[in-house]
Structure 1
Amino acid sequence: MHRHRCHGDTRHFSGPEGSGGRGGGGRGGPFGRHRGGPFGGRGKRMFDAGALRLVVLGLIAEQPRHGYDIIKALEARFQGAYSPSPGAIYPMLQMLEEADLVSSQMQGAKKLFAITEEGRAYLEENRVDLDRINAQIDEASEEIQGVSLGAEFRALRKTLFRQVRSGGFSAEQAQQALEILKKARGDIEALQD
């Protein structure tokens, strides 16, 4: 069994998404399974952690990228409706680097990540999973094409924070805003029925 070497010791990653190890039933190498892709993960998260790592590695394989570039590339693929947090991306990039799947070099104050030969081999081993996940992303983004859900959500959040920070709400207005948000959430949840 082949395992990634990092700083002289053998690292074997495992986590909630599955056990490590290459090949065989694990299908996820050092990062576990890529169960369900971006939409079939557990709970309310958009991405299964293993699927997100695979997509991020695929983006770096296309061209070297900074962490911010990866966040923006994913946001663009989802028509602005999804944007991973820096708290999800930057630790993942460090993990990919520790597993020798990517390397980095400083560019000013930022790290530029590039895929390694081992990273390319890992992508090829998991090509079927990556293609399936990318197809799911493409299908979802086609369905929402032309609808700027993400942009509208960010505008709403900005408006709400601006009003709260400036003291623009009276207690009564704050209660009205809360009721509006609750109703909107309920209406959006009802769309799934």
Structure 2
Amino acid sequence: MNETTDSLLINSDKPSRKSRLFESGHMKLLVLFLIEQAPRYGYEIIKSIGELVGGGYSPSTGTIYPTLSYLEDMQFVSIEKPDGDRKQYKITVTGINHLNGQREHLEHILGRLETRREIQNNDQYLDIYRAMGNLKTSLRLKLKNNALTEETIHQIAKSIDQAAVDISCLKNEVVR
């Protein structure tokens, strides 16, 4: 291996948990961003996030409405009722200032979601999805066996690390 491929390997004594779609605070920023674009009802926010994320994802009302309550408590949004009882959320000056201070972080979140959508909508990647599913399944089955030796654990980790290096070394060919 060389310096480039060595840098792709993550050397950690402590395994990390699978990353969630939205880390702490990301949903709040995303909701505030959507409200900044135009005042919205809760249901519209749920639909808009589903469209941004893609892949059939839809946040639950149990996620969105507490987020909206938090944003209101922080005075980042205000509530209007233009057609009776339904609450429409509108960004405040405080909310705009907060969002502007988090713009770089927001752009990172939006970029990640765009990449996720592009991958999900590209039929070329079906073989990769299938292969990743096979890898996950084989790992789950192997890890269910609590009697794995230390040697087997190291062999599994080495195989996955090597696959990561091999993938990173593949040449990108432009399809025209």
Give the TM-score normalised by the residue count of structure 1. 0.53
Q: What is the root-mean-square deviation of aligned Cα atoms in Å? A: 2.6
Find the partner of 2:117 among 111, 121, 141. Answer: 141
3-state SS of paired residue (1:110): coil
Q: Any idea what the Cα deviations from partners look like across 1:35-68, whole Å, max 9, x if unmatched?
A: xxxxxx9666421130110011000000000111
Corresponding residue of 2:95: 119
CA spacing shift, 1:55–1:190, aligned 2, 3 Å: same
Q: After TM superposition, give the deviation of residue 108 of structure 1 in Å.
A: 2.5
The answer to whether the 8 Å contact 1:102/1:116 transfers is yes
Q: Which residue of structure 1 lines up, in the alignment, with residue 41 of structure 2?
A: 66
Shift of residue 70, structure 1, vs aligned partner = 0.6
Structure 2 unpaired stretches of 5+: 1-15, 124-132, 140-159, 161-176
Trace 1:25-174 onto structure 2 (pairs within 5 A): 45-106=20-81, 107-145=83-121
Letter in 1 for 2:74: A
Displacement of 1:109: 2.8
The structure richer in helix per residue is 2
Amino acid at match of 1:71: I
| TM-score normalized by the length of structure 2 | 0.58
User: Who wins on radius of gyration, i.e. which is larger?
Assistant: 2
CA–CA distance in structure 2, aligned partners of residues 124 and 117 of structure 1: 10
For the structure 1 residues 63 and 137, does the alpha-carbon distance in structure 2 shift closer, same or farther, using more than 3 Å as the test?
Answer: same
